[in-house]
Amino acid sequence: MEATHVDRRTVLKGAAAATSGLAVVQVAGPPAAFAGHVEHGEVIPWSDQPPPIPEPVQGVFAHPLHWESLDSFYVPNDEFFTVKHYGDVHLSGSTYRLSVDGLVAHPQSLSLPDVRGLPRRAVDFTLECSGDNGFPFVVGAIGNARWGGTPLHSLLRQARPLADDLEVVFWGADKGQVTIRDNPGVTSGGFTGTVEPDSTGGLDLTITEHFARSMSLREAMADENLVCYEMNGKPLPVEHGFPVRLIAPGWYGVANVKWLNRIELRRGRYAGRFMAREYVTFREEKHGDETIWTFTTVGRFRLKSAPAKVIRYRDRYSVFGAAWGARISRVDVRIDEGPWRRARLQRRLGRAGSSGFAWRFWTFDWGHPTPGEHSVTSRAFDEHGNVQPRPEDEIIANRRTFWENNGQITRHVVIPAH
């Protein structure tokens, strides 16, 4: 078996070592004693806990990452957040087929053993829902896992696409009833849906739609994309897409289609619910004197970081956090309205070559904060010098939908009196 797990201790030692490097100068005693800071230190919970997930949303979004509990590079499968728009799908591994069809010379139909028999590959990838931090109750729609499967590009090559400029649609087995409102173009009759006039004189179309997402053939051919059947060394759990899902490292969660049973090549952009009606960011943009509205589909993930927890060891405090969405080159932390100061990046964990796709942990030596409430903000930099935007920066502030909020996150904590 491949060494799939970095155990918790290993990760924590890494974090502790990073902290001790900063701290030896100021702390008496051997660095080993201070290394207990992260591992044995006491977590001070954030005072700004997210509100409970409202009942109607609970069926869609569950098991958020509890940031204060984060203590391993890989989030265990049974603690990994889930997003499911049409509920769980229970597919049988023995009757499962994956087809690759549409504009291809050699359509494919593979069983689960067929898929598992193809060359195996793994990638460490931090999956984040583009709705993470979009609403106060959506906090922790993120997790990191080692995903195992077979490269998508070899499957696509086997099917021999008929052209280079095609679109690849990834179909999930899950489906549900949806109503598309105010659709003046819809014609009635002769199909499975229903059409009803609504109160404003528009036409509401009610149909059964499958979960589906697309990308260009060129994007689909990227080396890292996986037709995935393993999560952290175990078969994909039902709620994460058993038996097979797409893993598209570098894309927001929504692109990673679960219960994948059909890969279709077609011409032109696919504009289904999760491409064109939802998971669309609306913005108000300045164009000369005019304000115009723009609409872009959620795609690749964005540079982001979050303070995970504040830890006290003896009388010293530190902040532990994560950064992702790009190859991370630096993380800064700001306490209250103070100056930005550098956090210490932990060494890259996980598989070499996946490092741009997986989160990177960091620690910040806070020292001896004064008792009372403080705010903790982090900002990440990528290797091109881009910085995670502030909430008031245009790209965050001009959003009129909740998707793609990669703005800097500020958490609050109350430091107890000594």
Ligand X SMILES: Nc1nc2c(c(=O)[nH]1)N[C@H]1C(S)=C(S)[C@@H](COP(=O)(O)O)O[C@H]1N2
Give the binding site for Mo ion (CB under 5 A): 83, 129, 253-254
Q: Stretches 15-23, 257-265, 330-338, 404-412: which one binds ligand X (CB under 6 A)?
A: 257-265
Among 22, 91, 98, 127, binds ligand X (CB under 6 A): 127
Angle at 249 (CA atoms; ends 376, 178), nearest 5 degrees = 90
Q: Which does 168 bind (CB under 5 to 8 A by kind): ligand X, Mo ion, none?
A: none
Look at residues 259, 258, 251, 4 and name the one whose alpha carbon lies nearest to residue 147.
Answer: 4
| 17-25, 29-37, 68-76, 255-263 -> range binding ligand X (CB under 6 A) | 255-263
Q: Which is nearer to Mo ion, 129 or 331 (CB)?
A: 129
Stretch of residues binding ligand X (CB under 6 A), selected from 76-84, 221-229, 364-372, 379-387: 76-84
Q: Which is nearer to ligand X, 75 or 333 (CB)?
A: 75
Cα separation of 35 and 31, whole Å?
6
Q: Which residue lies nearer to ligand X by CB, 211 or 366?
A: 211
Site for ligand X contains 83 (CB under 6 A): yes
Q: Which residues pair with 199 in a beta bridge?
A: none
Nearest to 39 by CA among 366, 320, 353: 320
Q: By C-alpha distance, which of 290, 273, 272, 304 is closest to 395?
A: 304
Answer for the pair 17, 24: CB distance below 8 angstroms, yes or no: no
- The correct pick among 18, 67, 84, 110 for binding ligand X (CB under 6 A) is 84
Q: Which residue type, as a one-letter code, is found at position 327?
A: R
- Taking the C-alpha atoms of residue 345 and residue 46, their distance in angstroms, rounded to an integer, is 22
Span 155-184, contacts to ligand X by CB under 6 A? 172, 174
User: HSE on the CB side for 93, CA within 13 Å?
Assistant: 11
> What pairing do the DSSP bridges indicate for beta strands 97-102 and 260-266?
parallel
Alpha-carbon distance values, 92 to 95, 97, 405 (Å)? 6, 10, 37
133, 256, 261, 408: which one binds ligand X (CB under 6 A): 256
Report the distance separating Cα 258 and Cα 211, nearest Å. 9
Piece in contact with ligand X (CB under 6 A), picked from 64-72, 185-193, 252-260, 315-323? 252-260
What minimum distance in Å lies between the beta carbon of 298 and Mo ion? Answer: 8
DSSP codes of every residue in 59-100: TTEE----GGG--SSSPPGGGS-EE-SS------TTT-EEEE
The CA distance from 305 to 198, in Å, is: 44
Residues 197-236 that bind ligand X (CB under 6 A): 211
Query: Which stretches within 259-414 are classed as H helix?
Result: 394-397
Token look-up 């058993």 returns: 242
Closest-by-Cβ residue to Mo ion is 129
Q: Binding segment for ligand X among 50-58, 71-79, 81-89, 157-165 (CB under 6 A)? A: 81-89
For Mo ion, give the closer residue by CB, 83 or 263. Answer: 83
Answer with the entry of ligand X, Mo ion, none that 406 interacts with (C-beta below 5 to 8 A by kind): none
The binder of 283, among Mo ion, ligand X, none, by C-beta within 5 to 8 A per type, is none
In the complex, the smallest distance separating the C-beta of residue 231 from ligand X, rounded to whole angstroms, is 8
How near is the Cβ of 211 to ligand X at its closest, in Å?
A: 4
Among 46, 74, 81, 357, interactor with ligand X by CB under 6 A: 81
- Out of Mo ion, ligand X, none, what residue 377 binds, judged by CB under 5 to 8 A for its kind, is none
Report the residue number, 125 or 317, with the smaller CB distance to ligand X.
125
Q: Of 91, 129, 308, 343, which one interacts with ligand X (CB under 6 A)?
A: 129
Query: Of 82, 363, 388, 406, which one interacts with ligand X (CB under 6 A)?
Result: 82
Phi, psi of 255, rounded to the nearest 5 degrees: -75, -15
| Minimum CB–partner distance for residue 169 and ligand X (Å) | 12
Residues 214, 407, 134, CA angle at the centre, nearest 5°? 60
Q: Which of 34, 242, 259, 301 binds ligand X (CB under 6 A)?
A: 259
| Smaller CB separation from Mo ion, 41 or 325 | 325
Q: In angstroms, what is the C-alpha Rg of the chain?
A: 23
Judged by CB, which is closer to Mo ion: 18, or 83?
83
Q: What is the 3-state secondary structure (H, E, C) of 152-186?
A: HHHHHHHHCECCCCCEEEEEEEEEEEEEECCCCCC
Q: How far is the CB of 255 from ligand X (least distance, A)?
A: 7
Binding region for ligand X (CB under 6 A)? 80-86, 127, 129, 172, 174, 211, 240, 253-254, 256-259
